[in-house]
Amino acid sequence: MSTFLASGPNLGRGGIAAWLAGLSGRGKALVLAGEVVVMLVVWELVVGVFGWINPVFFPPPSAVAQGFVELVQSGALAANLTVSIQAWLTGFAIAVVIGIPVGLLMGSVLPVDRIVGPIAWTIYATPTIAYQPLAKAWFGFGIGPVIFLVTISALFPILLNIAAGMRTTNQSIINAGRVYGANRLQLYRSVFLPSTVPFLFAGLRQAVVLATIGMVVAELAGSSSGMGALIIRAANTYQTDQAFAAIAVVVVWSVGMTQVVTLIERWVAPWTRKGRR
Amino acid sequence: MSVTSATGTNRIVRPRRVVRTGEAKWGLLLFAVVAGIVLVWEAAVSWFQLVPAAFLPPPSEIIVAFVRLLGEPEFWAAFAYSMTNVLIGLAMAIVVGVVVGLAVGWSPVLRFTVAPFLWLLYSTPKVALAPLFILVLGLGNESKIALVFLLAVFPIILNTMEGAVTVSPSLVNAGRVFGVNGVYLGWKVIFPATLPYSLSGIQRGAALGFTGEVLGEFLGGTGGLGHLLEFAAYQFMMAEAIAMVIVMVIIANLTLWLISALRRRLAPWYDDRKIVGAS
């Protein structure tokens, strides 16, 4: 992010821009935190104090905070969050367990790549929401369709990224390995796998976001429990403050799991770019 | 190929298919495998009855349902309804997304102040807002168009922004040397250089916009492909439901293919691999 902020073709001309670019990491964080506070205050003023927007449709931050407290006190949050997390983790685990071996197989065996690849791309290109009614008809109204949608959302980014990673392994490193007499197994162990790991984690990060979307979609469109059901119930009873609070929890989950993936990457594979940051 | 790019937008670039004599063999093999799967499916369901046909109808039934569907005026009305909403929402998202993306990508001040929020919103599961949109805008077209717009706009902004940031400074300087400035510089140098990035954002945005439309139809209203699909599944007409899913798979893949073709046409000097950068 910091390198992204400090690059571009139009840099070093404006006064504010130069000042911002020259700030330390801590200074930048402070400026951003200040912005967040200003935005929250403006939001609160516009909706809560002046009432320019109907607070039922767009509740101010204080009401959302109150809605959060209500959700926690009534126990609705804990009950629904448990169901959602359970479905999410199960679906994600299935996707990882299927995606990694199949991806590795696609990356190392050409015929598999040529056959599974086009099929996987075709399914991946279609928004997973299209499969939701089928899942509902097959697995009933419980947690089943949610797990199915999470799995199918998370599977393809993992699988296709790993396959792409194996395929783009630097040829000169492979050659170097061969020169030093590495056999097939050693070549996989010390050349292909390490260079695929960054792709694996890029795929996992993508999968986290898509899995969360799949989970919310499945729960919104036909589930009696879970965060999506909580959101739609709150919205339908005009308790939008609670709906916003529940949405915020989903956002925190999505961002949090992305961070967890990054942390694992930093720990398992410190040689990758993301890990070094 | 997937890379975490400067803005953190993860993308996989579908490997470009190069038609060579060797490739025809793979195409044939793929066809044979798919045909084999269909055959096993048909055998398992309708000959050996391993799976109840009510749950998983055999391919022959699905094909019949598919053909019947294409003959129904009701289907085409639903198709027109959904596609109109998606196109309106997507058009708005493209205009807003490209303008905002160019502005934020070009101005370091905006990039510093606004980009982190855009990035946060980009990675937020915005589908969760769908019930609120329906609450505010009703069950009609407006809520669906708004949902399509909301879901489609962020990938377009983020990708355009990334494109604008990576415009080569020497191009900009060359333009300035020739006295090109202001809006004209944007139009002649920044916009064309950013275009392929915007198009890959639009590709992602189109898929997400389609999700928004279908979700909006699931949650309320009585028109569109999503509604037809939901209705068929609800009535447990599985052959019709699977035929509808196949329709959606075709629409989604056709859209992506069209935009890829557009990108190759409008920006032939760019290679997919170059957009992602060597990493």
Residue A202: which of B2, B234, B249 has the nearest Cβ?
Answer: B2
Whether A61 is covered by a domain: the verdict is no
DSSP 8-state class, residue B235: T
pLDDT, position B15: 59
The whole-angstrom separation of Cα A224 and Cα A221 is 10
Q: In which domain, by residue range, is A78 found?
A: 69-276
| φ, ψ dihedrals at B10, nearest 5° | -85, 135
Pair A28, A163 in one domain: no
Per-residue pLDDT of A31-42, as tens digits, reads 778 888 888 888
Residue B131: which of A20, A199, A220 has the nearest Cβ?
Answer: A220
Pair B147, B34 in one domain: no
Pair A20, A129 in one domain: no
Whether A59 is covered by a domain: the verdict is no
Pair A37, A133 in one domain: no
Q: Is the pLDDT of residue B277 over 60?
A: no
pLDDT band at A166 (very low <50, low <70, confident <90, very high): confident
Pair B43, B172 in one domain: no
Please list the residues that pair with B10 across neighbouring strands: B4
Q: Is A261 exposed, middle or buried (0-12, 13-18, 19+ CB in 10 A)?
A: buried
pLDDT band at A1 (very low <50, low <70, confident <90, very high): very low
Q: Does ipTM come in above 0.95?
A: no
- H helix or E strand, kind and range, residue A125: helix A110-125
Contacts 24+ apart (CB under 8 A), A23-30: A28/A2, A28/B112
Helix axes A240-268, A227-236, angle to 10 degrees: 160
Q: Does B178 or B99 have the greater pLDDT score?
A: B99
Per-residue pLDDT of A175-189, as tens digits, reads 888 888 878 788 887
Pair A193, A130 in one domain: yes
Residues 6+ apart with CB under 8 A from A109: none
Pair B31, B106 in one domain: no
pLDDT band at A275 (very low <50, low <70, confident <90, very high): very low
Pair B43, B70 in one domain: no
Q: Is the pLDDT of residue A18 over 80?
A: no
When divided into structural domains, chain A yields a total of 2
pLDDT, position A146: 92
Residue B241: which of A133, A199, A235 has the nearest Cβ?
Answer: A133
Q: Is A232 on the interface with B (CB under 8 A)?
A: yes
DSSP 8-state class, residue B2: E
Whether A58 is covered by a domain: the verdict is no
Pair A36, A78 in one domain: no
Whether B10 is covered by a domain: the verdict is no
Pair A118, A31 in one domain: no
Pair A238, A117 in one domain: yes
Per-residue pLDDT of B10-19, as tens digits, reads 455 565 555 5
Give me chain B's average pLDDT, please.
81
Pair B104, B26 in one domain: no
Q: In which domain, by residue range, is B69 found?
A: 58-273
Supply angle C-alpha A121, B275, A193, rounded to 5: 60
Cβ proximity of A90 and A153 under 8 Å: no
Whether B124 is covered by a domain: the verdict is yes
- Please judge whether A217 and B135 are an interchain contact, meaning their C-beta atoms are less than 8 angstroms apart: no
Q: What is A20-73 written as a DSSP string?
A: HHHS-HHHHHHHHHHHHHHHHHHHIIIIIIS--S-TTTS--HHHHHHHHHHHHH
Residues of B in contact with A209 (CB under 8 A): 123, 125
Select from B61, B69, B6, B87 the least CA-distant residue to B258.
B87
Pair B201, B79 in one domain: yes
Torsion of CA B163, B169, B172, B178, to 10 degrees: -160
Q: Is A11 on the interface with B (CB under 8 A)?
A: yes
Whether A41 is covered by a domain: the verdict is yes
| φ, ψ dihedrals at B15, nearest 5° | -60, 130
Pair B38, B173 in one domain: no
Residues of A in contact with B33 (CB under 8 A): 115
Please state the pTM of the whole predicted model.
0.83
Q: What is the CATH number of the domain that holds A212?
A: 1.10.3720.10
To test the contact with chain A by mutation, choose from B18, B25, B34, B132 the residue with the greatest count of A C-beta atoms within 10 A, namely: B132
Per-residue pLDDT of A185-204, as tens digits, reads 888 877 888 888 888 888 99
pLDDT, position A265: 87
Nearest-Cα distance to chain B for A185, in Å, is 24
Whether A64 is covered by a domain: the verdict is no
The full length of chain A comes to: 277
Pair B68, B184 in one domain: yes
pLDDT, position A16: 66
Pair A86, A194 in one domain: yes
- Please judge whether B230 and A231 are an interchain contact, meaning their C-beta atoms are less than 8 angstroms apart: no
Pair B42, B84 in one domain: no
Whether B14 is covered by a domain: the verdict is no
- Please judge whether B14 and A121 are an interchain contact, meaning their C-beta atoms are less than 8 angstroms apart: yes
Pair B90, B117 in one domain: yes
Pair A33, A84 in one domain: no
Pair A102, A222 in one domain: yes
Select from A90, B69, A51, B77 the least CA-distant residue to B61.
B69
To test the contact with chain B by mutation, choose from A200, A210, A213 the residue with the greatest count of B C-beta atoms within 10 A, namely: A213
- Please judge whether B165 and A7 are an interchain contact, meaning their C-beta atoms are less than 8 angstroms apart: yes
- The tokens describing A135, both together, are 């899942």
Per-residue pLDDT of A68-112, as tens digits, reads 888 888 888 888 899 999 999 999 999 999 999 999 988 888 888
Per-residue CA distances from B81 to B95, B143, B220 (Å): 22, 13, 14
Pair B42, B63 in one domain: no
To test the contact with chain A by mutation, choose from B114, B127, B129, B250 the residue with the greatest count of A C-beta atoms within 10 A, namely: B127
| φ, ψ dihedrals at A10, nearest 5° | -115, 40
Nearest-Cα distance to chain A for B24, in Å, is 11
Pair B34, B107 in one domain: no
Pair A21, A76 in one domain: no
When divided into structural domains, chain B yields a total of 2
Per-residue CA distances from A212 to A7, B24, B164, B186 (Å): 32, 39, 30, 37
Question: What end-to-end distance do the CA atoms of chain B give, in Å?
Answer: 10
Count of pairs with CB atoms under 8 A, one residue in A, one in B = 204
Cβ proximity of A198 and A272 under 8 Å: yes
Q: Does A7 or B48 have the greater pLDDT score?
A: B48
- Please judge whether B252 and A126 are an interchain contact, meaning their C-beta atoms are less than 8 angstroms apart: yes
Give me chain A's average pLDDT, please.
83
Whether B249 is covered by a domain: the verdict is yes
Whether A104 is covered by a domain: the verdict is yes
Residues of B in contact with A251 (CB under 8 A): 124-125, 128
Q: Is B168 exposed, middle or buried (0-12, 13-18, 19+ CB in 10 A)?
A: exposed
pLDDT band at A6 (very low <50, low <70, confident <90, very high): low
Q: Is B218 on the interface with A (CB under 8 A)?
A: yes
